[in-house]
Amino acid sequence: MNPETKRAAIAAARRVVFAGLVILAVWLVLIALRAAIPASVIETLAESTGMSVETWNERVYESDWSTSFWTNEPVYERIGERLGTTARLVGLGGLISLAIAAVLLFIGEIIRRVTDRPEWLARLRQVLRLVVVSGGVSTPVFLAGTTFIFLTIINIGWELPEKFGAIATWSVIITSLLPVWLLVQAGHGERANQPDNISSLSLIRHLGIKLIIRLFRLIGVFLIVTVFIEQTMAQPGLGRLAFEALAQRDFPVSFAVIWVFAITVILVKLVADLIEIACNHFSKHASSTERKEDQAVRRLNIPRGWLIFCLVLVFISILVAIVGPFLAPYGFNEIILDDRLTPPSAQYLLGADNLGRDILSRMLYGIRLDVFAGLTCAGILVVLATGWATLVTYLRKANTWLGDTLEELAILPGEIIRAFPWAVLLMLLISMIVANYSHMTLVLICSLVLLPRAVEMLREAYRSPPEGKGWFFGILRAVPVMLIFTVAGTIFYISSLSYLGFGIPPPTPELGNMLSGTGRQYLVDAPWMLYWPYLCLLLLIFIWVMAGDVLLERFGFRSKALWAKALE
């Protein structure tokens, strides 16, 4: 057995062992979380049911959790009833996303070959690619579901149950939208690493394998998407069951669903890792690809003016967050019942909601909350994530199987956290907190969930440092990129949680909670209550994601789907 074959075999065995360790650790974490359910939550359950605190203590801490708290149904039966819907959404959504991504990449390759000269046209193509892909990646999935509901209601009225078949079909399609853009983003990065003279057949084979591996690694994204799709479009799957159980604090059911999600993520990612190890070992072009990577990176550079433009937009969003509330014509909770549901006018530029509150004023306060939460989270992670990534990279300095093992041992705690889909983990942690938690508590929880994902962003970036630079310089140069993506990720997290009812509670305005509740209730009579926060949230996330993508490429890193690291 030659050294490379031996190293590949060790890598495969190590991945299997580490997957087993992560499964064991996830089980221990769930046991610890069960024991950590605070007494205040037990008291809340007792008050809501009229049962004694002692009875609830016994049910929470001493029972075997084989049945639901509220229905007494066996947990495995409730999961079995919903498993098929989620499996169908994930399976069909994965196939559709892979097919659409392949078509888009094929079209992109044709455009690349046609517009490679002159240079200004090639640069314009790069800018348009970043705009389109960043726009798709930065769209929260619940916005797509909300759009479908809005269009459906306009066209067919409120007879949604009669259209269940159509809604189920569109649920599968919407499930594939976000993974499509993540696959396209990763595919562009892989294409940039290939030499120009590579044959079409070799390119198709290489991209096909890489996209399948990436698709498997996006299993966490698919599971998260199903939570929002099943909740928004009333699909009876595990995502909706998890939401219902966590909202009711039905911990036996919610913990079981989370366990199923975590096992699925771990095992599917293990398959992806083993496929990648085998492909890297047997690929005839692996070494030549890496040697040509630096030349490919330089071709991806986009105009400096576009970078400045994106950073100016980021600065404007921060400026609006700082001064916007002071310029708001009304208070965010100033109620004028005589003006309820007033359409956009000179008095209310963006209209008024069902309580007569000014939409513009509430949006300005919502922007401040989201941007400041993102900046606070980024400030926390700049130290923790950079230190962790530096340790991991230092341990891998010895480019041998020993260095690989030390690196994966150092990153193992992050793999445990990343085994939990972020939306479900956030909802679980918040459900274990009594109501009236502070905004800072939500930021700290988001920081905990984002931390290992931020480290993965840094690892993904430093693996291709600029030519002639060492790994430490690569990490330092990747930090600004990570911070921008962290702000975007925090806004994404908080708005998503608020949309589901687990984030910022009303009446405090947040762009996500403005889209749920009354926003959807009045979307026919007062659509401005919905589409202005909708457009604002879409633009806000897009600005930060676009700036991160541009900075990533201008700094000399290969174009990789770093945004996927925040969503996996």
pLDDT at 554: 79
Average pLDDT over residues 529-557: 87
Cα–Cα distance for residue pair 222/215, rounded to 1 Å: 9
Residue, of 120 and 187, whose pLDDT is higher: 187
295 Cβ contact list (under 8 Å, min separation 6): none
Q: How confident is the model at residue 490 (pLDDT cuts 50, 70, 90)?
A: very high
DSSP letter for each residue of 279-338: HHHH-SSHHHHHHTHHHHHHHT---HHHHHHHHHHHHHHHHHHHHHHHH-SS-TT---GG
Judged against a pLDDT cut of 80, whether residue 300 lies above it is answered with no
Cα–Cα distance for residue pair 526/352, rounded to 1 Å: 9
- This model's pTM is above 0.85: yes
Residues of the chain with CATH 1.10.3720.10: 64-298, 301-568
Percent above pLDDT 70 for the chain: 88
Contact 357, 334 (CB under 8 A): yes
Average pLDDT over residues 538-566: 81
To the nearest 10°, the Cα dihedral for 452, 453, 458, 463?
Answer: 100
Percent above pLDDT 90 for the chain: 36
Judged against a pLDDT cut of 50, whether residue 213 lies above it is answered with yes
The pair of three-digit structure tokens given for residue 553, joined into one six-digit string:
């490429």
Angle (nearest 5°) at CA 259 between 256 and 261: 110
Cα–Cα distance for residue pair 96/104, rounded to 1 Å: 12
Cα–Cα distance for residue pair 469/2, rounded to 1 Å: 31
The pair of three-digit structure tokens given for residue 20, joined into one six-digit string:
């087993």
Average pLDDT over residues 366-388: 93
pLDDT at 272: 93
Paired with 352 in beta bridges are: 358
Radius of gyration of the chain (CA): 24
pLDDT at 384: 93
Residue, of 261 and 282, whose pLDDT is higher: 261
Residue, of 382 and 525, whose pLDDT is higher: 382
Q: How confident is the model at residue 432 (pLDDT cuts 50, 70, 90)?
A: confident
pLDDT at 371: 95
Task: Establish how many alpha carbons lie within 13 A of residue 133's alpha carbon, considering only the half-sphere containing its beta carbon.
Answer: 30
* 220-275 pLDDT per residue, tens: 999 999 988 888 777 889 999 999 999 888 999 999 999 999 999 999 999 999 99
Check if CATH label 1.10.3720.10 holds for domain 301-568.
yes
Contact 126, 559 (CB under 8 A): no
Cα–Cα distance for residue pair 204/191, rounded to 1 Å: 10
pLDDT at 468: 56
Q: How confident is the model at residue 155 (pLDDT cuts 50, 70, 90)?
A: low
Look up the CATH superfamily of 64-298: MetI-like (1.10.3720.10)
Cα–Cα distance for residue pair 241/253, rounded to 1 Å: 8
Q: How confident is the model at residue 313 (pLDDT cuts 50, 70, 90)?
A: very high
- Taking the CA atoms of 330, 331, 337 and 342 in sequence, report the sign of the dihedral they define: positive
Contact 69, 250 (CB under 8 A): yes
Q: At what angle do helices 75-114 and 238-247 cross, to 10 degrees?
A: 120
Contact 351, 532 (CB under 8 A): yes
pLDDT at 286: 44
Buried b (16+ CB within 10 A) or exposed e, 541-562: bbbbbbbbbbbbbbbbbbbbbb
Judged against a pLDDT cut of 70, whether residue 207 lies above it is answered with yes
Residue, of 419 and 461, whose pLDDT is higher: 419
Judged against a pLDDT cut of 80, whether residue 561 lies above it is answered with no
pLDDT at 508: 86
